[in-house]
Amino acid sequence: MNVSLSEKTYPAAEQRQRFFQEALRRTEGLAGVRSAALASNLPVDQEATPVLPVKADGAAEAAGSGACLTKAALRVVSPGYLRMLSIPLERGRMFGEQDDARVENVALMNASLARRLWEEQDPVGRRIEYNGQRLMVVGVVRDVAIRNPLEGPEYEVLLPFAQALMASMTLIAHTAADPAPLVAAVRGWCIR
């Protein structure tokens, strides 16, 4: 379910974050829901996936390989998103509840982007500049189709929901049975 919050009703980023956290908590608590997650956009959603420049600190730039500046798709996700969609972690760690506004801004990236920026070196613990922020890479995830499943791997940066507050998110639920009866309950607290 796509949920867009009015900036008049929710003018502060913290208000939007509280709303989405509560919607996620309520959805996870519904009978029949195995797991739930939030994402700014879903894989292969071409229109909703922004692509922005990313610049890497470190070896590739120093080596003059030309791999230090490229563009990568942006996806903001809640901690359970990758597990829910069965996207495996290849290195480092997944996002957790600790990745909020009180700590250094962090990012995950897909394996293709990690190779592009650092070739065979481990990117975990290195930093990138992306979307106007300096971010520490905490993990690398397997490539998935981002905008077009018929094309090769694209580059992707994932940011934790609690550090990249957005006014529009997609609420995803994995259910044990037919999800249709749950829609009314979720819609009741998500549509304002």
For residue range 36-70, list pLDDT tens digits in order.
Answer: 999 998 876 666 678 889 998 754 444 455 444 68
User: What is d(CA 94, CA 82) in angstroms, rounded to the nearest whole number?
Assistant: 8
Q: Where are the domains of the chain?
A: 1-40+168-192, 44-165
Q: Calculate the alpha carbon distances from 57 to 65, 130, 144, 157 in Å.
A: 13, 11, 24, 15
**What's this model's pTM, rounded to 2 decimal places?**
0.87
Angstrom distance (rounded) from CA 84 to CA 76: 15
Give residue-wise pLDDT tens across range 88-106: 999 999 999 899 989 999 9
> What integer pLDDT is reported at residue 152 of this predicted model?
60
Could you write out the DSSP letters of every residue in 119-178?
TTS--TT-EEEETTEEEEEEEEE----SS-TTS----EEEEEGGGS--SEEEEEEEESS-
Confidence (pLDDT) at 150: 61
Note the pLDDT of residue 59. Answer: 44
